[in-house]
């Protein structure tokens, strides 16, 4: 079935055509009809399968038609997302699909001044995409009115629960009309998500696009067994052998991100870091430069894994294995999106064997091992332009330097306020 055959506004069809979308993905094909019928939906699908458009298309149509009869009803739909980056990505999709229609969408999130966001709200908006913290704050201040909100969407619901937003979501539901449409979209589902979902919805349509593979078939997965303090040599080699490729490197902590970035700098490799200690302006700048290919290597923590929707990411490197097996899926989902192909490489040290076992159990199959013979291993070490030898004192010094910089930034922010 083609989008032109759907009973949706011509404006949306034209926008889809201009974006190059002719046929729906599986999640879109199964989600759009029940949402258009105003039914509650609980949808589980892999990342990169077109989930945002799966709810954006029917929502824009419903609100467009509604505004033919009644205008200025205030916020008609609220979309909750776990991270600022994801909120911006969702808003971008809405803005592209709503062109020429009666619908307007904006995003609000923490980490930036609230006054510009308040001004946008006062101008009037139909779809509000928000992170929980900021939306609850502005709602309590009286700037967000939800009395007429007929649709609520929880995107990446599993991640919102991981971040501890479950009570905030329940609190928000008290301010919403009892007669509303609730949509849950998530890459994974567990008992806690089921419990939350069924407490907020009425006879939901459950849609699960869950092939036997937990991750996209478009991704080639492999693992290397290397010593923890020699991972940097292998990362350097991968980057230098693929200088024209766009690469995301995932590490476990923000300190680790800065340390790996410094190691690459010593090897004359330009990188950027993305983690929770970056202020919003820096985060925007980093993602913009990575998106444009100004810098081709991004070193990020898991907090950013779901908010990064950058086209044409060629490689995902798990420099550190994730502490939570499910996060492997979200990390590697940054590549191989849609019809594109990607490569996911994982470095595993002896200390991470238990994590590897958990990840492979979650995937229900082992990750292909690329064996490195001793001569090639030695060549990789010799290949490096970073002659620094890591010892405990050096590591502690780097941690102290990084924390000192963060304290200085925090102190500077307090003085400005």
Residue at which a domain ends, from 209, 240, 264: 209
**Domain-embedded: residue 413:** no
93 found inside a domain: yes
Sequence-ordered list of residues with C-beta below 8 angstroms from that of 182, at least 6 positions apart, any chain: 40, 151, 152, 153, 154, 200, 201, 202, 204
In the sheet where 151-155 sits, what is the strand order?
A: 105-108, 127-130, 77-80, 151-155, 181-186, 41-45, 205-209
Q: What's the pLDDT score for residue 334?
A: 86
pLDDT at 363 over 90: no
Across 65-88, average pLDDT: 88
DSSP, res 214: S
Domain count, the chain: 2
Confidence (pLDDT) at 391: 47
Query: Tokens in use for 89?
Result: 């990505």
- The answer to whether 345 touches 247, Cβ cutoff 8 Å, is no
Q: What average pLDDT does the structure give for the chain?
A: 85
pLDDT in tens, 313-323: 999 999 999 98
Tokens of 398: 């780097």
Whether residue 188 is found in the same domain as residue 258: no
Task: Tell me which of 158, 176, 209 is where a domain ends.
Answer: 209
Predicted local confidence at residue 392, as pLDDT: 43
* Structural domain contains residue 112: yes
- Residue 200 scores a pLDDT above 60: yes
Note whether 10 and 157 are same-domain residues.
yes
CA 148 to chain CA centroid, Å, is: 29
* Bigger pLDDT: 296 vs 408: 296
- From the list 143, 144, 136, 198, the residue with the least C-alpha distance to 169 is 136
Q: What Å distances lie between residue 84 and 109, 133, 145, 148, 235, CA to CA? A: 6, 11, 21, 25, 28
Q: Which residue has the higher pLDDT, 397 or 20?
A: 20
Between 231 and 337, residue with greater pLDDT: 231
Q: Domain range for residue 139? A: 3-209
414 lies in a domain?
A: no
Asked whether the predicted pLDDT for residue 337 surpasses 60, the reply is yes
409 vs 129 pLDDT, higher one: 129
Same domain, 244 and 169: no
Both 336 and 297 in one domain: the answer is yes
- Of the two residues 388 and 91, the one the predictor is more confident about is 91
Same domain for 310 and 358?
yes
| CATH code of 168's domain | 3.40.50.300
Instruction: Please answer whether residues 151 and 126 qualify as being in contact, where contact means their C-beta atoms are separated by less than 8 angstroms.
Output: no
| Residue for token pair 């939570």 | 324
Query: In the numeric block, which tokens belong to residue 299?
Result: 């070193």
Residue 184 near residue 157 (C-beta atoms within 8 A): yes
Q: Are residues 251 and 187 in the same domain?
A: no
For 126-157, write each residue's pLDDT tens digit.
999 998 888 888 988 989 988 889 999 998 87
Question: 67 with 117, same domain?
Answer: yes
Query: For 10, left (φ over 0), alpha (ψ -120 to 50), or beta?
Result: alpha
Decide if 416 is inside a domain. no
Residues 171 and 295 in one domain: no
Q: Of 209, 230, 257, which residue sits at a domain end?
A: 209
**Alpha helices per DSSP H over 98-222:** 115-123, 132-140, 157-162, 166-173, 191-200
């Amino acid at each position: 079935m083609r989008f032109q055959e759907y009973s949706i506004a011509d404006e949306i069809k034209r926008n889809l055509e201009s974006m190059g979308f002719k046929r729906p993905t599986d999640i879109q094909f199964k989600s759009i009809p029940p949402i258009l019928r105003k039914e509650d939906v609980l949808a589980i699908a892999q990342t990169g399968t077109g989930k945002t458009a799966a709810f954006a298309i029917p929502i824009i149509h419903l609100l467009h038609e509604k505004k033919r009869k009644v205008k200025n009803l205030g916020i008609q739909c609220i979309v909750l997302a776990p991270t600022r980056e994801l909120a911006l990505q969702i808003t971008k999709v809405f803005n592209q699909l709503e062109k020429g229609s009666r619908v307007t969408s904006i995003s609000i999130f923490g980490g930036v001044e609230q006054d510009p966001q308040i001004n946008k709200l006062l101008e009037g908006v139909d779809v509000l995409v928000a992170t929980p913290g900021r939306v609850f704050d502005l709602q309590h201040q009286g700037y967000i009115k939800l009395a007429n909100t007929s649709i609520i969407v929880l995107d990446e619901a599993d991640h919102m629960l991981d971040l501890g937003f479950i009570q905030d979501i329940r609190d928000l539901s008290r301010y919403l009309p009892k007669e509303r449409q609730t949509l849950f979209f998530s890459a994974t589902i567990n008992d806690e998500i089921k419990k939350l979902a069924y407490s907020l919805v009425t006879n939901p349509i459950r849609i699960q696009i869950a092939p036997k593979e937990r991750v996209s078939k478009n991704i080639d997965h492999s693992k290397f067994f290397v010593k923890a303090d020699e991972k940097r040599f292998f990362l350097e080699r991968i980057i230098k052998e693929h200088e024209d490729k766009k690469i995301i490197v995932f590490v476990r902590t923000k300190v680790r991100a800065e340390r790996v970035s410094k190691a690459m700098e010593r090897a004359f490799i330009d990188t950027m870091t993305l983690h929770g200690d970056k202020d919003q302006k820096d985060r925007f700048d980093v993602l913009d430069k990575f998106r444009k290919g100004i810098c081709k290597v991004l070193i990020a923590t898991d907090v950013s894994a779901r908010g990064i929707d950058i086209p044409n990411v060629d490689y995902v490197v798990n420099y550190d294995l994730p502490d939570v097996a499910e996060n492997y899926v979200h990390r590697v989902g940054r590549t191989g999106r849609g019809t594109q192909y990607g490569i996911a490489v994982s470095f595993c040290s002896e200390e991470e064997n238990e994590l590897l076992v958990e990840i492979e159990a979650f995937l229900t199959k082992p990750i292909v091992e690329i064996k490195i013979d001793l001569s090639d291993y030695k060549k990789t070490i010799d290949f490096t332009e970073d002659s620094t030898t890591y010892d405990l004192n050096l590591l502690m010094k780097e941690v102290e330097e990084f924390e000192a910089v963060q304290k200085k930034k925090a102190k500077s922010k307090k003085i400005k306020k």
